Structure 1
Amino acid sequence: MEQQRTRVAVAGASGLIGGALVRSLAADGYQVIRLVRRAPRGADEVRWEPEEGRVEAAGLAGCAAVVNLAGAGVGDRRWTEDYKKRIRDSRVPATAGLAKALASLDEPPRVFVNGSAMGVYGETGDRIVDESAPAASGFLPELCVEWEGAAAPAREAGVRTVFVRTGLVVARGGGAWGKLFPLFKAGLGGRMGDGRQYWSYIALHDEVAAIRHLLDRDDLSGPFNLTAPEPLTNREITAAMGRVLHRPTLFAVPAPVLRTVLGEMAGDVLGSARVVPKRLLESGFTFAFPGIEDAIRAA
């Protein structure tokens, strides 16, 4: 996309990934339009009500791209039935509302990048999976399928539509690693369960760079796994955290304790997801921090 005065709308601009993306785009001269839940305070904000699927479509006119990264944190709290409903309602109606708004424009944007998650593949064990793998069953996989499906109106209107199936983002400011860093720095870090489950991670810098790569490439659409090229086990990642932070990693959280504390969400922590970014690599994207130690240092 041409940088000068190019308008890019971002939903979820206050989140970990969205905030980093906005800073990156603004630094390179893009005009960023933020979707906000309150009354807009300027021309760079557009009102939307994600749970109701409503957005002021006129505010998106003239945007070359729209990026939707909004959604309640999957790992923020225990998965009660009420919170699972909140996770879904903050994603599916929001995506559907945005997609319909884009389809209604006389000149829709060239590209719609919509959030998703590697959770679509469910438990993979030692099996390596790429974008060709089918969706699994369960809350997260079924949510991802519905979430991606909600973007259909934009795709059917001819908008190039991309789904970013993000892994565990290595960053200090939020997500899984936002909770891990304080524990490890205090010397309380350790493996979870038996530690043999695979974690597919990605440095925040690479996450943002990959999204921008997908925005720029007019030939790319559909699902892309945003994970580092070589997933590692929780045991390997624990050891790397200890080495980089110079802290012991003697503690371990037994699986039964995790299940008691986290409930259904424990399956996501103890489950194995060996997900690789096949399509992203084939498109020519280069990771700046492909290794776990580099990703941790970058954070």
Structure 2
Amino acid sequence: MKVLITGGTGLIGSALISSAVGFEFTVLTRSIAKAKSILPASVKYIDSLAKLHNLDGFDAVINLAGEPIIGKRWSEQQKDQICQSRWQTTEELVQLFAHSKMPPKVFISGSAIGVYGDRGDESLTEVSSIAERDFSTMLCQRWETIAKQAEPYTRVVLLRTGIVLSAQGGALAKMLLPFKCGLGGRISTGQQYMAWIHYRDHINAIHFLLNETNISGPVNLVAPNAEKNMVFTQVLAKTLHRMAIFPMPKIVLRVLLGEASSLLLDSQKVLPQTLLNRGFVFKFNKLKPALLDLVG
């Protein structure tokens, strides 16, 4: 299978490429030299979608590109960069689909569970309502709307990804140091739900979605069992043989991260209903085995 992938040097993209067998990947990247130091020698590269006139010759497109949403305060400039890094690339890909005589059979495009907003204890599936509530919901809704413009030309799958667990990057890697030092603890009240997924299940789900031709539209990429932040931190601490006794007050997070603190404070009890209905089997459907595999 010949695949064009954006975001190929990120956490999921690089793991997907490195683990795939029988695929020919072409990676869109701003730094080919950096990408070559990360990815297998068989990978091909382009540094601009403007060098393509269409997508003929590719069997699939996987769109994972985007400026990291957490790590910096959401100034207006940073918000614009977060948005445009997702929207612009997706728009360019949609135009290439439109110009293709034999377009790829599937367009798998990124999104996030942030599309649901802060929903407390409500169980959220792919058919749950969405509405613009804040920056995250606006970002994801617009991202999905742009990607869906490719529907006349191909099957479109929208990856509503939760917190990806990996010791090599992402949220878990940032949490490890303070927890290993015994400085971890719940965030605010700890009652907000965290919808997570082991990175290998995420990769396996992408393979599944590439081949399941009857799946389209939004797909929640989360494990079946979301956990409250209090439970998550306790399980992580026990896995590392540490205590979790230093809570992070909401007001401190607001001061440190500003509006971006919503990513840690919002509650999203998201269920992978589409994947479960279609028979996808999670290797890690419970938090403790997932953390033991990664950091135990």
TM value normalised by structure 2: 0.92
Shift of 1:144: 0.7
In 2: Cα distance, 1:262 partner to 1:153 partner:
34
Distance 1:108-1:59 versus aligned 2 partners, 3 A rule: closer
Q: What are the superposed Cα offsets for residues 272-296 of structure 1, whole Å, 9 maximum, x if unpaired?
A: 1111111111011010011111111
Q: In the alignment, residue 130 of structure 1 is paired with which amino acid?
A: T
Residue 36 (structure 1) aligns with: 29
> Secondary structure at 2:25's aligned position in 1?
strand
Shift of 1:15: 0.3
> Secondary structure at 2:59's aligned position in 1?
strand
In 2: Cα distance, 1:58 partner to 1:24 partner:
29
1:154 partnered with 2:150: yes
> Secondary structure at 1:202's aligned position in 2?
strand
Identify which of 167, 172, 180 aligns with 2:167.
172
Maintained 8 Å contact 2:55/2:102 = no
Residue 204 (structure 2) aligns with: 209
Shift of 1:164: 0.4
> Secondary structure at 2:269's aligned position in 1?
coil
Q: In the alignment, residue 261 of structure 2 is paired with which amino acid?
A: A
Equivalences, count: 286
Q: What are the superposed Cα offsets for residues 214-264 of structure 1, whole Å, 9 maximum, x if unpaired?
A: 011111110000011011100000110011111111111111101111100
Shift of 1:39: 6.6
In 2: Cα distance, 1:43 partner to 1:285 partner:
28
Alignment of 1:201-280 (within 5 A): 201-280=196-275
Maintained 8 Å contact 1:116/1:163 = yes
Identify which of 61, 66, 75 aligns with 2:61.
66
Maintained 8 Å contact 1:10/1:22 = no
Shift of 1:266: 1.1
Shift of 1:178: 1.8
Residue 45 (structure 1) aligns with: 45
Shift of 1:100: 1.0
Residue 298 (structure 1) aligns with: 293
In 2: Cα distance, 1:183 partner to 1:97 partner:
41
Residue 51 (structure 1) aligns with: none
Shift of 1:58: 4.5
In 2: Cα distance, 1:161 partner to 1:287 partner:
22
In 1: Cα distance, 2:128 partner to 2:54 partner:
37
1:9 partnered with 2:14: no
Distance 1:273-1:77 versus aligned 2 partners, 3 A rule: same
In 2: Cα distance, 1:55 partner to 1:286 partner:
39
Q: Which shifted more, 57-66 or 14-23?
A: 57-66
Maintained 8 Å contact 1:57/1:102 = no
1:87 partnered with 2:44: no
- List gaps (5 residues or longer) in structure 2: 37-41
> Secondary structure at 1:145's aligned position in 2?
helix
Q: Percent identity?
A: 38
RMSD: 1.6
Residue 285 (structure 1) aligns with: 280
Shift of 1:74: 0.8
Shift of 1:60: 3.9
> Secondary structure at 1:165's aligned position in 2?
strand
